[in-house]
Each structure stands twice: as C-alpha cells, then as structure tokens.
Structure 1
C-alpha cells in the first residue's frame, strides 16, 4: 500500500513539473498556460466569425430590402400596364359594337334596296 501511495505522490510531482514546464517553441509559457491561450484564441476566432456572419446577415437583409422595393416598383408598373390594356380592351369592345351596328344598318339598307327592286350591277 505504501508503494502505491509513493507512486501517486511521484506522479503528482511529475504532473506538476510537466504543467509548469515550458512548451517547446513557446518560451516562458507553461503547458497549462499555452492550452489556456489556445482556448482563448479559439474563442476570439469564433467570436470574430460570428460577428462577420451577423454583419453579412445585415448586409443581405439590406440588399433583399432593396430588391423587394424594386419588385414593388415593377409590380406597380405592371398594374399600370394592365389598367391600360383594360382601357384598350374597352375601346375595342366599343369599336366592335359600332361595327356590329354598321353591319346591322347595312343589312337593313340592303333589305330596303332589294324590296325596292334594286339589283347589283355586274362590274
């Protein structure tokens, strides 16, 4: 039992020495401090990435708002064009009605002429 206790103490001493030893290539930093620094850097990188994503999200929202405004303008123009076409259709309906009236009048005149004995000349 005593040898196991001694082994545990030896391992604790070695671990403590290992934690306080300088990391290769990074003078004056213990391994624990180096790992803390790496963790802090990862946090900063993550924060920077999230900030950039948020900025891009805002920029995309602004661009989409501009595109939406342009589409609204186009929709308004199409509504104006549709109204103009409806006006043109109404005018054509009036012209068609006039031609129908003229056709009726011509048929009536033709009927009167025929009843009076008129014949068409064979030109």
Structure 2
C-alpha cells in the first residue's frame, strides 16, 4: 500500500464518514420524528380505540333498548291480535246465531207458504163448488123459465077458454 494511496483513501474514508455522520444525523432526526409520530399515532389509536369502544357500547345499548322496545311492541301487538281474533270469533258466533234465526224464519215462511197453498187449494175448491152452485142455479133458472113458459101457455089456454 502506497502512502499516496493511503492518504487518498483516508480522505475518501473521512469524506464517507462525514457523509455517514450526516446521514446518521438525518436518520436520528427521522427516527425521533417517527417516534413522535408513532407516539401520537399510538395515542390516536388508543383514543380511537376508546372512542370506538364507547361507540360500540352506546350502539349495543341502543340496539338492546330497541330490541326491548320491539319485544314489548311484539307482545302488545300479539295481545291486540289475540283480542281481535277473540272478537272475530264472537262475530262469527253471532253470525252463526243470525244464520240459525234466518233458517228458522225461512222454515216459518215455508210453513206460511204451505198454509197459503192450502188456503189457495181450499179457495179453488170453493170456487169449484160455487161454479157447481152457479150451474145448478142456471139449471133451476132454466126450469123456472120452462115453468114460466108452461104457466104462460096455461094462462093462454085459460084466456082462450074464457
């Protein structure tokens, strides 16, 4: 190794050491800044976790409250529907009673129709009897007319005899 070369190499090494020192200084500053950022990020993450945890708890509490409200509402709706079903059953029962009464009315109207038919039949029979009486009265009228004619003839004969 030559001494010329040694001095150039040392100079070069010193230059590299200065560059490395500058880079190390910059790296130290970067590391310090990174530590500050990491600390802030850690605090931010911790705060974010705390806020997220609080939000999660609040959301869970809200969901639980909504669930309870829905459970209460479901119970209320179920109760109301049971009452409605019960009232519909009562209405159905009453309609059944009304149907029964209509059937009774129909039966009674059928009986009334039968009685009217019987009365109609009897009136037809009475009409037939009146027709028979009319026929007989017509026959009697004819006989009276015959008798009148014969009496008229007898009167004429008496008048001739006189």
Q: TM-score if structure 2 supplies the norm length?
A: 0.58
Question: C-alpha separation between the residues in 1 aligned to 2:141 and 2:60?
Answer: 118
Structure 1 runs (4+) greater than 6 angstroms displaced: none
1:3-40 deviations in whole A, cap 9, x for unaligned? 7x9586565233124235xxxxxxxxx33322211111
Answer 1 or 2: higher relative contact order, Cα 8 Å, separation at least 6: 1
User: 1:99 and 2:123 equivalent?
Assistant: yes
Instruction: Select the structure that is richer in strand.
Output: 1
Q: TM-score if structure 1 supplies the norm length?
A: 0.75
Gaps of 5+ in 1: 21-29
Compute the RMSD of aligned alpha carbons: 2.4
Aligned pairs, how many? 108
1:51 deviates by 1.1
Instruction: Select the structure that is richer in helix.
Output: 2
Matched residue, 1:69? 93
1:48-76 deviations in whole A, cap 9, x for unaligned? 11111111111111111111111111111
Matched residue, 2:73? 49
The structure number with the bigger radius of gyration is 2
